[in-house]
A and B are shown apart, each in its own frame.
Chain A
């Protein structure tokens, strides 16, 4: 049996959640004050995901780098792999918000999209 510990981030109370896991099954969830904490704990154990934000190089733009994000949240254990690939992307100015900079990043089926307007110089 494994014990996972988290802080619930859904409200300022910040309950300390404990989840007992046996293989792929959740045995118990404790420490939560309300239902939202339970849902959060369940997701954090079974499928924790995060949106990754970073910057990529821009050629010929008003700015040397432009901010990007993964369009959808990616599994937490893929963050490092996503970053590795994101670092290698280069785009040419001008770029616009929602421009796709890369597809299927690190095999997550998610796109990397631009989050800022950068004009050409």
Chain B
């Protein structure tokens, strides 16, 4: 069995940025494991532009954005193994993987970063009557076919779901000569970015049918058409609103789920709202020494935030590796609050002084669907922690309220908030230490709520 200080699972933007950051924070023996034949993850098929506005102040395409990180990984001589599928991670951080040249092998890591990204919801999860003829694809599969294999899946297209991949594919298929007849969305609003609605649909006159769904699929061998219907507030089709549309291709863009089979098998606690691991301010999961970032942690719409988060994960993993080294022989000394020092063993959480293990839970409430991180240790946290969250529905003229226990600490006015846009607030260590007794921090959306 080989030893590495840090093993990163997944070579997408999250894995790459985490590796770079860990190296810059002094970690030597890093290994990135990627199951695909190339690095870059999902960005390789996202050939449209619009990436990196925050990070590089220019609009790059997906492959160009990925390439900046791939070049950096090469320059820093970070070891990567491609075509390598990770099969198992143990709580003791033993990683089992397989590839065609090494066969099955095991690696002992001091720290692990999960960066496996997400996958599309399978179409089986959709409840549409009718046969399952050829011509039904997930939007991401279609994207891969067109942009990497150079193969057009069809000529007359309907897209169900107005997530960003669906919108991007509506434009892509149109430019390649297909006729995209409609994008149907079950909800009364689109979960896609506004920019994509304008530049992918409006620019090409493709109708976005909100509060609509596919109720029937026609065709036995090959798709021949679908029936669309309007839905009521509960998402139930309204009789009499059915409309038949002939098409040979149906793309499903019905959402992404973090890819967490490995995390689950390792016994890592997942947050039912994000479907990703529950993490603390250091992006460490409930399994010590295992960190998470990127789409495996929660689904991001902007890759810039993925890189930012991954950079932090790399830094915290590096810190953890250095700390556990320092504490390995016996013990580690930590300055207490009043200048007294406490001795504890890093490996054994139970012997850490109470101050160091005290964790405050973040509670998403009224309108907030989740927060990342889910808990914060005031003793371990840096000066500032960015808490990312999403709202459940569209809110106009509202405010974000942050409560320490019962006390309102922050109230941030907002003109509009939408589920499609990831939000964030900052928590400062200074503020948290003013309230040494609080056990929870609640984040909620306040004031009148209307649907758009």
Contact = CB atoms under 8 A, between A and B. Distances in A.
Contact of A53 (B47, B150, B198, B421): B47
Interface in B59-85: 59, 61, 63-64, 67
Contact of A9 (B63, B146, B198): B198
B52 to A, nearest CB: 12
Residue of A52, A76, A115 most packed against chain B (CB within 10 A): A115
B203 interface: yes
Contact of B415 (A13, A53, A83, A97): A13
A116 B47 CA distance: 9
B147 interface: yes
A12 B421 contact: yes
Contact of B150 (A9, A13, A50, A57): A57
Contacts of B241: none
A63 B67 contact: no
B148 A65 contact: yes
A55 B150 contact: yes
B49 A53 contact: yes
A20 interface: no
A55 B47 contact: yes
Contact of B418 (A12, A52, A79): A12
Interface in A1-28: 6-7, 9, 12-14
A54 B417 CA distance: 33
Contacts of B64: 97, 115-116
Interface string B134-148: 000000000000111
Contacts of A9: 194-195, 198-199
Interface string B165-188: 000000000011000000000000
Nearest to A116: B63
B150 A7 contact: no
A12 B61 CA distance: 22
Nearest to B61: A115
The list of the 6 closest CB pairs from A to B, nearest first, reads A65-B150, A67-B47, A116-B63, A9-B195, A115-B61, A64-B150
Given A7-B197, A12-B420, A65-B150, 14 more contacts: A12-B194, A13-B416, A50-B199, A51-B59, A52-B175, A53-B47, A57-B150, A62-B37, A65-B149, A69-B49, A97-B63, A97-B67, A116-B44, A116-B47
19 contacts: A6-B202, A7-B197, A9-B194, A9-B195, A12-B418, A12-B420, A13-B415, A50-B203, A53-B48, A53-B49, A54-B175, A57-B150, A63-B148, A67-B61, A79-B175, A83-B175, A97-B64, A116-B63, A116-B67
